[in-house]
Chains A and B, each alone.
Chain A
Amino acid sequence: MSNDAQIPDIRSSRLDKDEIARNFGDLHPPLSRSEALIAADRCYFCFDAPCTTACPTGIDIPGFIQKIRSDNIKGSARTILGENIMGGMCARVCPTEVLCEEACVRNTHEEKPVEIGLLQRYATDPIFDAQAQLFSRAPPTGKKVAVIGGGPAGLSCAHRLATLGHDIVVFNRDSKPGGLNEYGIAAYKAIDDFAQKEAEYILSIGGIELRNGKALGQDFTLAELRDSYDAVFIGIGLAATNEMGLEHESLPGVDSAIEYIADLRQADDLGKLPVGRRVVVIGGGMTAIDIAVQSKRLGAETVDLVYRRGPEQMGASQYEQDLAMTNGVTIHHWAMPVELHGAEHVTRIQFERTMLDADGRLSSSGERFELSADTVFKAIGQVLDAGALRADFAGLEFQHDRIVVNEACRTSLRNVWAGGDCVDGGDDLTVTAVQHGKVAAIDIDHHLSKE
């Protein structure tokens, strides 16, 4: 075979157009009305519902499902979006199997929860399709708030502040709003430009000025914003990719999963996106699964995902792990990368078997194995690029390299709030970022109204 000789074998158009279209269609097709009514009928309308408790944004889940039952879709959407303005995206990307659906009492009854995620999508899709405004703004307060970051935390904060009558400027590093919703989530989870549809809906409340292409530390400083605005919210996420700390890590072909996914999400024609024949993914979180499955669906021949611990410790849920496996991804547990090989381009990567020692610490067994690779994707987590922003962050308290906030998302700096992935103690989920933005907005409003 001719392509055996070709090293590295990275090229586009591995699959035909139809196959690509099938592979990147909706992962979970939406429910029809009759499917939704049957699914909704399974909700027991629990007292003090465990699903609601399990939802980071506290959506009244039995309440919105009850409204689906009665064809009160607008009311259902308001119940959802009133707590979580990104309820549309969360319906697509939330790991419901470890949140609301895990808590569903139907699991105890018959080991099959109510399909809360799909029902939430059923209730919210028509609102985004029609861009039907469900919210109104309180009378103007005359207060101005700066929001740094146009991702889930920032947009959620901005929307809530807007409904409370404040004026907001969102400083967004990227050319489009949405953050990881736009640039970071697997394409088949948010098809048809949904992230933009959602951002458009959020902004349509009014009072929010979006400034794209404005990055903290480059185009403005935190100090400037603190001077010019009544309050500042930081929702800048984690911009930098963790390093493996290996020699030759800068070899071509050793890439950041996040950056590749961003390219994939912005590609007009996925068929034209080059993908390696043999892809190795390092990491065990959602991003690792997303890059592994998408590589496979772009036509990679083999995709090996290597994680240094066991399946229970993976950041990716069981559902995600299963998704990877059914897509033909080979998952290797208990192994860590130790050597990268290749002259002009990565060709092989060596791993050492890992284990837990007597103290429960990860240690190497010394046993090695090797995988051939045209591409190695690093998906071992993101970090806040605090180094580059040090001057900006003077006075901000940090822990675990992330910003420290209290329960109301206040930072150690006066009039500065923060939320989303960039704060300490989060779980790197869209839904949590949305909650932070909401909580911060409510506290900002409370604070500003006392001034």
Chain B
Amino acid sequence: MADLKTTFLGISSPNPFWLASAPPTDKAYNVNRAFEAGWGGAVWKTLGEDPHIVNVSGPRYSAIHSNERRVIGFNNIELITDRPLQTNLDEMRQIKKDWPDRALVASVMLPMNEQTWAKYLPMIEDTGADAFELNFGCPHGMSERGMGAAVGQVPEYIQMAAEWAKNAASIPVIVKLTPNVTSILPPAKAALDGGADAVSLINTINSIMRVDYESLTMYPTTDGMGTHGGYCGEAVKPIALNMVAEIARTKDTQSLPISGIGGITDWRDAVDFLALGASNVQVCTAAMVYGFKIIDDLVDGLSNFLDEKQLPFGQLVGKAVPSVTDWQYLNLNHVEKAVIDQDLCIQCGRCHVVCEDTSHQAITNTVNGERRFEVIDEECVGCNLCASVCPVDGCISMQHLTSGNDPRTGEPISEIKANWTTHPNNPMRKTD
């Protein structure tokens, strides 16, 4: 079994899977259960100043389901901890004592003045927590009070608060970023400039799940009125991966260690985040949907994968980052065609109808009077739509043409890479 022991900012944990700051880490009872189940670490539910905030006594969550009621996307309007600070601190201290090998990170959200940070952070650090995570991400409720995402959306505030935190803390400081921004790079850069040791991302995305079809009000509501929440779960993973990869591949920010968050449900999701630049990952929704036991597959699956790849954990981190680039650098001389494996084809014809209706009319429905779906190379642009909708795994693959002419354009296949920056149709092309 591959060794999954991970060190993030000098904090070691038996595996790279931490529970994200959220309801699963609300109190000692949950965190004990999580550590018993095998989680590598926990970011305690966000602490705030006293008196503690209150939460609604009603629907805090809602979900988008598949027809078999699998949770695809998840929404919450829960705020930070609604328990007295001292209760949390006592429990954290006990947890750290009972579980010295696990990572315990204190998530904090405080008003934007330095005195408050200076007052609370040492008190919290005294629990024995391994690091702080500054919650600049929550997009609902707390943001109305000038905290959470309201900070994360203004790089200057991020930098300022990161500096306050660094001044007040002797343990590492992680800045948790909100995805509710146009570009993730300025907030990440601000965290770095403020002295943060790492960033974690993404927090949740502003969301309204749906309306109630009976009452035609938004759903869910608290006594007839609703408010936007934060969206998470499997559905948000691609958004998170892009932001993680942006930070990891951009010169100004690539020195920041990243704790990846966003829809991680099984070990493959973790591989995505790690390969795109995260050094560890945090999970919330999957635990809220399935319970803590999912850690078995996360650990076991990742371990088996690394064994099979004969790849030490450390070498997985960032492995895919060099393959991420800007569109303008994609090789426009590269030609692919879809190929349908007729032995695997079950004749559903979805590839045909989507290509016919919405793409390039490049798949037949009849050949010699028989129902048959074949790619018409003269029309196929290799867009991957057919392969994306095909219900049979592996039935449609994309084949790279390496010689001869592209039947669509009649142009010879070139081995020379050429991208938009030098393309004759680009008025801004580089001419050297």
Q: Which residues of A contact B (CB under 8 A)?
A: 34, 37-38, 40-41, 44-48, 50, 69, 105-106, 108-109
Q: Across the interface, which residues of B come within 8 angstroms of A41, CB to CB? A: 66-68
Partner of B67, one of A44, A69, A105, A106: A69
Looking at chain A's contact residues, the main secondary structure is helix
Which of A69, A105, A106 has the largest count of B CB atoms less than 10 A from its CB? A105
Beyond A50-B371, A109-B392: 15 further Cβ-contacts under 8 Å? A34-B69, A37-B69, A41-B66, A41-B68, A44-B348, A45-B350, A46-B349, A47-B349, A48-B349, A48-B365, A48-B371, A105-B346, A108-B347, A109-B346, A109-B391
Asked if A47 and B350 make an inter-chain contact with CB atoms under 8 angstroms apart, the answer reads yes
Q: How far is the CA of A44 from the CA of B352 in the complex (A)?
A: 13
Q: Which of A40, A69, A105 contacts B348 (CB 8 A)?
A: A105
- Decide if B346 touches A38 in the complex (CB within 8 Å): no
Query: Smallest distance from the beta carbon of B362 to chain A beta carbons, Å?
Result: 14
Interchain CB contact (< 8 A) of A38 among B68, B348, B391, B392: B68
- Judged by a CB distance under 8 angstroms, whether B353 is at the interface is yes
Residue of B nearest to A62 (CB): B348
In the assembly, what is the distance between CA of A47 and CA of B346, in Å? 12
Task: Check A46–B67 contact: CB distance below 8 A.
Answer: no
Which residue of B is nearest A68, CB measured? B67
A373 to B66, CA, bound (A): 56
Query: With A44-B391, A47-B352, A48-B365 known to touch, is A105 a contact of B347 (CB < 8 Å)?
Result: yes
Judge whether B347 and A50 touch: CB under 8 Å. yes
Q: Please, how many angstroms separate the alpha-carbon atoms of A108 and B349 in the complex?
A: 13
A47 to B365, CA, bound (A): 9
Q: Chain B: how many interface residues by the 8 Å CB criterion? A: 15
- Considering the complex, give the chain A residue whose CB is closest to the CB of B363: A47
- Best-buried of A37, A44, A106 by chain B (most CB within 10 Å): A44
**Complex formed: what's the CA distance from A45 to B353 in Å?**
10
Residues in A whose Cβ lies below 8 Å from that of B69: 34, 37
A38 to B391, CA, bound (A): 16
* In contact, A46 and B350 (Cβ under 8 angstroms): yes
Contact of A38 with B347 in the complex, beta carbons under 8 Å? no
Top-8 shortest CB links A-B: A47-B349, A47-B353, A108-B346, A37-B67, A41-B67, A46-B348, A105-B346, A44-B348
Return chain B residues, CB-CB under 8 Å to A44.
348, 350, 391
Q: List 24 A-B contacts (CB under 8 A).
A: A34-B69, A37-B67, A37-B69, A38-B68, A40-B67, A41-B66, A41-B68, A44-B348, A44-B350, A45-B350, A46-B347, A46-B348, A47-B348, A47-B349, A47-B352, A47-B365, A48-B349, A50-B347, A50-B371, A69-B67, A106-B346, A108-B346, A108-B347, A109-B392
Q: Which residues of B contact A (CB under 8 A)?
A: 66-69, 346-350, 352-353, 365, 371, 391-392
What chain A residues lie within 8 Å of B371 (beta carbons)? 48, 50
**Least CB distance, A54 to chain B, in whole angstroms:** 12
List, in ascending order, chain A residues with CB within 8 A of B349's CB.
Answer: 46-48
Q: Give Cα distance in the complex from A69 to B67, angstroms.
A: 7
Contacts of A37 in B (CB 8 A): 67-69
Asked if A38 and B67 sit within 8 Å, CB to CB, the answer is yes
In the bound complex, how far is the Cα of B353 from the Cα of A106, in angstroms?
Answer: 18
Max chain B C-beta neighbours (<10 A), residue from A40, A47, A109: A47
Which of the listed residues B69, B348, B391 has the most CB atoms from chain A within 10 Å of its own CB? B348
Q: In the complex, A45→B352 CA distance in Å? A: 12
Which of chain A's residues has its CB closest to B356's CB?
A47
In Å, the complex CA distance between A368 and B332 comes to 80
* Chain A contacts for B352, CB-based, 8 A: 47
Query: A206 CA to B11 CA in the complex, in Å?
Result: 79
CB distance from A72 to the nearest CB of B (A): 11
Give min CB distance, B247 to chain A, whole Å.
37
Residue of A nearest to B352 (CB): A47
Nearest B residue to A70 via CB reads: B67
Q: Tell me the complex Cα distance, A37–B346, Å.
A: 23
A197 to chain B, nearest CB (A): 29
Q: Chain B residues with Cβ under 8 A from A50's Cβ?
A: 347, 371
Complex CA–CA separation, A46 to B349 (angstroms): 6
Chain A residues closer than 8 Å to B66, beta-carbon distance: 41
Closest to B354 in A: A47
> B341: shortest Cβ distance to chain A, in Å?
13
Q: For the complex, what is the distance from the CA of A360 to the CA of B66, rounded to whole Å?
A: 54
Complex: A41 Cα to B391 Cα, angstroms: 12
CA A171 to CA B69, docked complex, whole Å = 50
Cα–Cα distance between A13 and B66 once the two chains are bound (Å): 49
Which B residues are in CB contact (< 8 Å) with A48?
Answer: 349, 365, 371
CB distance from A115 to the nearest CB of B (A): 14
